[in-house]
Amino acid sequence: MNIHYPMPTSRRGALSMFGGLGAGLLGTTAALADGHGGENPLNQTSIDFSDPVQNLNAFIRVFSDIDPDKVCVGYYTGTLYNVVGDWKKVVPLCGLSGMGIRRVQTLEDNRYRVFNRELAFYSDIKTGEFVDRWDNPMNGETVDVFPIQNMFVNAEIAPIFEFDMEGTTIKQPFSPPWEVMNGSALSLFEVHQEVKSELQPDEWPRESSGPVMRISEMFHRHTRVADLENPDLTSVNYVGSWMRIAPYLPWMLMGQTEGHLLYRTSTYKFSAVDQLPKAFLAKAEKEYPQYLEPPPFSSWGTPNNSSFNTYKDMREPMPAKS
């Protein structure tokens, strides 16, 4: 088996956030350790993932499409779970289905700009139907659901990117790990971070989980090695998974209650919005049609959105409980 694992390293600063499976992407600073096991040709590939240029090209073709005239749609569906303490069982809370629609602009020096837009809906855990009001079993309240609606989630990715660490400019290769086995290639990407909350508890006592948020994202994307090695393919299909560890969502009105959310989803790649599941597409076309096309290239430089700053812009703080 041909496995490429990153070595852990601390980091601060990074690439812009970008997603498509409702989620964001932050630059990794990992270095590759290149290992080759066995002589089975199904466990080998002509792609050198330790080369940042080849790694990034493969990543972009799986994640999206390097043809600027093509649109890529990433779709995910799964469940949000409640996690409290060390011993209480994990409990499913609601469903989540979402999409990211994107187009890629190729620049000089093997750099890519990703223009991405995100939309997602929450659903009843029993019926699977999308809901606008949700009975929160954790606090006994019926709350207004706030869909994921991020108009701009753009990012530029380069084979060698720069970021600031304690006042020093650090240069690192783009080097997320890959696994190759039995003719399949697995793209691995993980993000683990602590970030200042967009919703501070003094202003948002019921919506904020605290002054700092812990967020982890774990992406697995499976594709065929033969497709990845074919230079004529500007885009390569995948199926995969996205997992996320994050605070309770602000619309759940949990405040700084102990616990957090675990997301577990399956992910898919489409080439057009009409390939989306019918129920999701119908709701999107009726209520959020502007999210069914990616941002234009002219939107470069527009501030990016997240679920938290979008909530902050569109909602008012709820008064604290007496």
138-169 pLDDT, tens digit each: 999 999 999 999 999 999 999 986 655 456 66
What residues does each domain of the chain span? Answer: 2-314
* pLDDT at 234 > cutoff 80: yes
- Say if residues 130 and 123 touch (Cβ distance below 8 Å): yes
pLDDT band at 297 (very low <50, low <70, confident <90, very high): very high
* pLDDT at 36 > cutoff 50: no
Q: How far is CA 244 from the centre of its chain?
A: 9
In angstroms, rounded to a whole number, what is the distance separating the alpha carbons of residues 130 and 282? 11
Per-residue pLDDT, 4: 35
Least confidently predicted of 155-159, 243-247, 300-304, 318-322: 318-322
Per-residue pLDDT, 170: 63
CA 159, 162, 165, 168: dihedral to nearest 10 degrees?
130
Q: What is the pTM of this model?
A: 0.87
Per-residue pLDDT, 168: 66
* pLDDT at 31 > cutoff 90: no
Which is nearest to 76 in space by CA: 197, 238, 184, 200? 238
Per-residue pLDDT, 3: 35
DSSP 130: B
Q: What is the mean pLDDT of the chain?
A: 87
* pLDDT at 18 > cutoff 50: no
Q: How far is CA 55 from the centre of its chain?
A: 19
